[in-house]
Structure 1
Amino acid sequence: MTHANQVAPAGASWLSRALNAIERVGNKLPDPAILFALLMVTVWIASWLMSSMQFSDIDPRSQQPIAIKNMLSGASMAAFASGLVTTFTGFPPLGVVLVAMLGLGVAEHTGFINAGLRAILAVTARSLLTPVLIAVGILSHIAVDAGYVLVIPLGAVMFYAAGRHPLAGISAAFAGVSGGFSATFFIPSSLDPLLSGLTQAAARLSADAGAAAIVVNPLNNFYFTSASAILIVLIGWAITDLLIEPRLNKGTAVDGDPAELPKMEPLSAAEKRGLLFAVLSIAVTAGLFLLSLLPSDSAWRAPDGGLAAAAAPLMKSIVALIFVFFLIPGIVYGYAAGSIKSHGDVVKGMSKAMSGMGYYIVMAFFCAQFIYAFGQSNLGALIAIKGAAWLKAMAFPTGVTLIGMILLTSMVNLLIGSASAKWALIGAIMVPMLMQLGLSPDFTQAAYRVGDSSTNIITPLMPYFPLIVVFCQKYVKGAGIGTLIALMLPYSLALLVGWSAFLLGFWALDIPLGIGASYVYPKL
């Protein structure tokens, strides 16, 4: 399948040249696995050099002056060596990706995914694929990290099958899943109670008399994040169709293995029969599963009876459910359509999926070791604390302070991938500080969420970033870190500017941020 060249929009040529330069420089970096190894060694050396330094900055986690831990000391190296295997096997994205890919591998091997997408594309306007894909990426937040292993690769398949550039599909999906991480389509995500709990703990650190009794509602940003979803779709749609895809069509040829790439052909009678039975199997499986959720004492519920709580077994089983809900229809489709003949073919599909993940597993090993060293050394925590202290010292006006908060978060995000880890560090300083300036914890948390989401998509230290590079390489063999950063940088900048303005607009118009939320402290 070929992708016709398109003319870049007027005024975009300088940006296209800049992005091409970023891609060239980025792709000259070492292989991602080696890059993570070099970064780990850099952390070791920096921690050794800085471990003898004394810092007066207080670590909000321990309430003691922060200290850099020497990762080259005998004790640290012994701990590193003894935990090498568990650091790798306990790397959160590793299990998520591999288990999900087992089910997806069967569904792809039997032809279920290919046929299903072709059926959807037959009734979906080609021009609407971008907004629909971004919206689906945002909706995936209710399933924790499922979007990374499900929506993003399917975005590439959908675009390619529709005659569009597959890397544009990856870009649009990545923008929705990760760039819009704090957005939600009127459905709370697991991030809401996680961040609000940390915000409440940080607010109670304030010296104010009533601070100890502050209660932060888990949905304190719900109206803002729901409205933000529409903004993310519009920004992502414009960037993808007006900038990213025209640039890709002009200079990035699809050179993946033709046998591995989807074909856009009419469905055969066997494929239609397979889809019918596969859809019926999904309906039956989903119906039985929903019935198991209904009882008040369902095993899927948390101790308090909730299904959406972080402690609920349901929320902890999202990856397992992805595995099942692709495995069952994949097998049913295969037998009904005649694409598989025995259980051996099912195992072959799983094995094929795992063989394709070899490169990611190598990168995940070195990424896990680097993240361990960086976290243990306290270098990231020191940078976050220093940045927050500087912002406090500047004493900017309210609007400027909020923008500073967003920029601080976006920069720290390039070094610390975990949203909760960043907020535990930044929030413990910024929430009490901004309360003294009359800004509510709800408002500060909203600013954090904007900064955190906007730069997720351009940091190679984000745990799923190497996986997205692997997805790109399926279609463009020479794709690397620079390719992905160049693709996602326009989204990141547009989100940072547009979303920040959107938050300030909410504030200026006094639109409620969420349930039980306010903009001012003390609450009026």
Structure 2
Amino acid sequence: MSHAGTGGRLATSSEKPPFIDRFLNAIEVAGNKLPDPAMLFVYCLLIVVALSAVFSSVSFDLVSPATGEAIQVKNLLDAKYLTDFMASSVTTFTSFAPLGMVLAALLGVGIAESSGYINIALKKMIRMTPQKLLAPAVVMIGAISSVAADAGYVLVIPIGAVIFHAAGRHPLAGLAAAFAGVSGGFSAGFLPSSLDPLLQSFTQSAAQIYDKDYLVNPLANFYFTFVSTFVVTLLGWFVTEKIVEPRLKSVELNKDLEEAEDMSSYTQAEDRAFKISSAVLLAMAGLLVLACLPETSPLRAENGSLTAHTAPLMKSIVPLILLFFLIPGVIYGRMTGTFKNHRDVMAGMSQSMTTMSSYIVMAFFCAQFLKAFGDSNLGTLLALSGAEVLQAMDLPGQMTIIGIILLTAVVNLTVGSASAKWALIGPIFVPMLMAVGISPELSQAAYRIGDSSSNIITPMMAYYPVIIVFCQRYVKNSGIGTIASLMMPYSIVFLVGWTAFLLLYWALGLPLGIAAPYTYPVM
């Protein structure tokens, strides 16, 4: 497969390109003129420190719903804070959640990849999936992966690129489709995830400001998020094939990836090894399911939930990923002769780490910036200011729902945590909408759309640096602008299409979830 072109821009043509291409090209060019991502986090850190010093002396008439106290920007130039910040910088880095998840999961993935197990699995997947259905399949798998917390970022996204490349399509299109499903479709999925009870706890607390007896079911949005999986898949499919992939036709791949490996054939020995390794994998999955079934299972949270963020199962996702790739990979490698001894296994793990050095550097500075930004309260100030403006506009119900979605999408550019944003703006909007007859469950569904739709374009998202590294494996010149220009169409289409779907869903009176009304009696 050949992709001739400049390699620096995602679209070139002798004719004047259409508006959408010019718009996305401008985003890419501007974004790629930004400094190296690691240095960008350094500059952002310095800007946050400077702004915190300026605004720390300003009094704001905003009260945090979470604490009940007036918002006060913290001066990060304070001597004690600087001392504590420096003293904890190593701990801040080592406790940066995406770092451990990415590196630990890649140990197992590295074994499965170097043994050839993933390779033959992809060959079989490509044989089974029609070429025209690769894009929706990748998007849907990404959306479904949200049940496994953040595992999709380190598994589905790179595999999406590999699948497209092996099928003779541009790998960045596969990466973008997978990223759109994993992150843009984070609030969709066929199974409940840890996000459901997490958001429910904040929604219920906010609702009880208006009605102290109001209860919100953890699965209050489950029916809507289930159906939304198909909506996200269709929207992602459209964007991938009609907008993103056409722009990538002239983008040159790295020279060592110019020709994709033949993915149409494999030997009988490889097929036998794959079947046995996969049988072991299925047996492991079966044992895990059996271990989860008893109500007294140690994998359940205290309340019996398997998907609550406190459940040991959710906390064990990374080691489970490691084992579920490691064991079948080792078996396959031994049966095919790829692994002759334990040294080959260790070499496979080491090889998987060599490509992550730039990510580790970015992760260090990203962790420091996110800590400083959170400590400064600048993000809280922005979120509450936007909520206050929207509240003052006093819009009709449908327009207010749209306003919540848009505000959430904007605030998500500076406050990455889904629960942190809802903890800030939920106590404002939920009681406000209950007062005009709109239920907390509907407000929560609107919030989830805004949060998911802009996940894929916010550099505040902790996994953004690793997505850049995945891109650079195929196109060396990839940068923040490349990712932004690839993902902006998904973000806009998801925001518009998913919002329209919620309004239609509301108009038809379809149930949002378990015990989840649309309206609330006005007191």
TM-score tier, shorter chain, comes to over 0.9
- 1:480 has 2:479 as partner: yes
Post-superposition offset of 1:439: 1.4
- Offset from partner CA, 1:404-452 (integer Å, 9 cap, x none): 1111100000001110011111112111222222211111111101100
Deviations 1:276-303 (A, max 9, x none): 2211221232233333333333222222
Are the equivalent residues in 1 in contact too, given 2:4–2:251 (CA < 8 A)? no
Deviations 1:182-206 (A, max 9, x none): 1112x11111111011100111123
Q: Secondary structure at the match of 1:213?
A: coil
Query: What does residue 94 of structure 1 align with?
Result: 99
Are 1:285 and 2:289 counterparts?
no
Query: Counterpart of 2:248 in 1: which secondary structure?
Result: helix
Q: Is the 8 A contact 2:4 2:252 kept in 1?
A: no
Per the alignment, do residues 12 and 260 of structure 1 end up closer, same or farther by CA in structure 2, a change over 3 Å counting? closer
Counterpart among 62, 65, 73 of residue 68 in structure 1: 73
Which residue of the partner structure matches residue 23 of structure 1? 28
TM-score w.r.t. the length of structure 1 is 0.95
CA distance in 1, matches of 2:334, 2:491: 44
Gap change, CA 1:463 and 1:390, over 3 Å in 2: same
Q: In 2, Cα distance between the equivalents of 1:272 and 1:259?
A: 27
TM-score (norm 2): 0.95
Alignment correspondent of 2:269: 270
RMSD: 2.0
Equivalent-residue separation in structure 1 for 2:201 and 2:60 (angstroms): 28
Write out aligned runs for 1:324-335 (5 A). Answer: 324-335=323-334
Give the match's secondary structure for 1:478: coil
Distance 1:445 1:287, change over 3 A: closer
- For residues 177 and 478 of structure 1, the distance between their equivalents in structure 2, rounded to whole angstroms, comes to 24
Which residue identity is paired with 1:280?
Answer: A
The answer as to whether partners of 1:308 and 1:314 remain within 8 angstroms in 2 is yes
Q: Say if 1:277 and 1:336, in contact at 8 Å, map to a contact too.
A: no
| C-alpha separation in 2, matches of 1:384 and 1:329 | 46
Question: Which residue, 121, 124, 128 being the options, matches 1:116?
Answer: 121
Find 2:89's aligned residue among 72, 84, 90. 84
Alignment of 1:121-160 (within 5 A): 121-160=126-165
How far is the alpha carbon of 1:20 from its aligned partner? 1.3
Paired residue for 1:42, among 44, 47, 61?
A: 47
**2:110 is equivalent to residue 105 of structure 1:** yes
Inter-partner Cα distance in structure 2 for 1:479 and 1:367: 18
Unaligned runs of 5+ in 2: 6-10
Secondary structure at the counterpart of residue 101 of structure 1: helix
Q: Determine the C-alpha separation between the residues in 2 that align with 1:83 and 1:217.
A: 39
Q: What is the CA distance between 1:392 and its match in structure 2?
A: 0.7
1:439-458 correspondence runs (5 A): 439-458=438-457
Residue 238 of structure 1 corresponds to: 238
Paired amino acid for 1:366: F
Partner residue in 2 for 1:317: 316
Equivalents in 1 of 2:418, 2:57: separation in Å?
29
Aligned residue type for 1:494: V
Which residue does the alignment assign to 2:213? Answer: 213
CA–CA distance in structure 2, aligned partners of residues 4 and 32 of structure 1:
27
Once the 2 structures are TM-superposed, how far is the Cα of residue 335 of structure 1 from its aligned partner? 0.5
Aligned AA (1:235) = L
Contact kept in structure 1, 2:162 and 2:171, CA below 8 Å: yes
Question: What's the counterpart of residue 196 of structure 1?
Answer: 200
Task: Report the counterpart of residue 395 of structure 1 in structure 2.
Answer: 394
Does the CA contact (< 8 Å) of 2:3 and 2:251 recur in 1? no
Q: How far is 1:261 from its partner?
A: 6.2
Give the CA deviation at 1:260. 10
Q: Distance in 2 between matches of 1:272 and 1:52?
A: 68
Instruction: Note the alpha carbon deviations across 1:447-503, whole angstroms, 9 max, x for none.
Output: 101100110001111101111111010011111110010000001000111111111
| Mapped partners of 1:254, 1:81: distance in 2 | 41
Letter of the 2:123 partner, please give it: R
CA contact (8 A) 1:114 1:262 kept: no
Q: 1:108 Cα shift?
A: 0.7
Runs of 4+ deviating beyond 4 Å:
3-8, 259-263
Structure 1 residues 341-366: Cα deviation after superposition (integer angstroms, max 9, x where no partner)? 11001111111111111111111111
CA contact (8 A) 1:438 1:520 kept: yes
1:112/1:275 contact within 8 Å kept = yes
- Contact 1:136-1:151 within 8 A present in 2 as well: yes
SS of 1:257's equivalent? helix
Could you tell me which runs of 5 or more consecutive residues in structure 1 were left unpaired when the two chains were aligned: none
CA contact (8 A) 1:440 1:523 kept: no
**Equivalence map 1:302-451=2 (5 Å):** 302-451=301-450
- 1:519, distance to aligned residue in structure 2 (A): 1.6
The separation in 2 between residues aligned to 1:146 and 1:132, in whole angstroms, is 17
In 1, Cα distance between equivalents of 2:404 and 2:172:
32
Aligned to 1:516: 515
Partners in 2 of 1:523 and 1:318 — Cα distance? 43
